[in-house]
């Protein structure tokens, strides 16, 4: 069965910093909508993740690499084992990553 999701409806219920809702799954990956508010500390993952900013701006900082700022409709892939942190005043982000990454780290 097919269903559709409205990003705006998901955004309305995402009010807590860094809480996420699963948008859908494709094979062994999942897409999550996440509300970025404030800073999420330095961390790294064993697999790549794709960030796509839907609303607001997100600053990604890295160890030994220059930071980048993503605006709406801009994206980047953070490669596996890249230590990074995120900061946003208030942004909505679509994050695509392997499903087990959230299962292993539910606080992300």
Per-residue pLDDT tens for 59-108? 999 999 999 999 999 999 999 999 999 999 999 999 999 877 655 444 44
Say how far apart CA 19 and CA 87 lie, in whole Å.
14
Q: What is the structure's pLDDT at 44? A: 92
Find residue 30's DSSP bridge partners: 25, 97
> 65 to each of 30, 36, 84, how far by Cα in Å?
27, 22, 9
- CB distance 21 to 13 below 8 Å: yes
- CB distance 56 to 89 below 8 Å: yes
Query: Which domains does the chain carry?
Result: 7-104 (2.60.120.10)
Task: pLDDT band for 10, please (50, 70, 90 cuts).
Answer: confident
Q: What is the structure's pLDDT at 101? A: 65
Residue 91: exposure state from Cβ atoms within 10 A (0-12, 13-18, ≥19): buried
Q: Where are the alpha helices (DSSP H) in the chain?
A: 7-13, 99-104
Per-residue pLDDT tens for 19-62? 889 888 989 899 999 999 999 999 999 999 999 999 999 999 99
Residue 49: alpha-carbon gap to chain centroid: 8
Does residue 11 sit in helix, strand or coil?
helix
């Amino acid at each position: 069965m097919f269903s559709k999701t409205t990003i705006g409806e998901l955004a309305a219920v995402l009010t807590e910093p860094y809480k996420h809702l699963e948008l859908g799954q494709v094979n062994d990956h999942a897409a999550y909508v996440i509300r970025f508010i404030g800073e999420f500390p330095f961390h790294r993952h064993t697999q790549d993740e794709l960030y796509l900013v839907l609303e607001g701006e997100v600053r990604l900082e890295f160890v030994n690499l220059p930071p980048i700022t993503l605006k709406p409709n801009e994206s980047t892939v953070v490669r596996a084992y890249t230590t990074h942190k995120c900061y946003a005043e208030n942004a909505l982000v679509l994050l695509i990553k392997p499903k087990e990454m959230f299962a292993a780290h539910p606080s992300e």
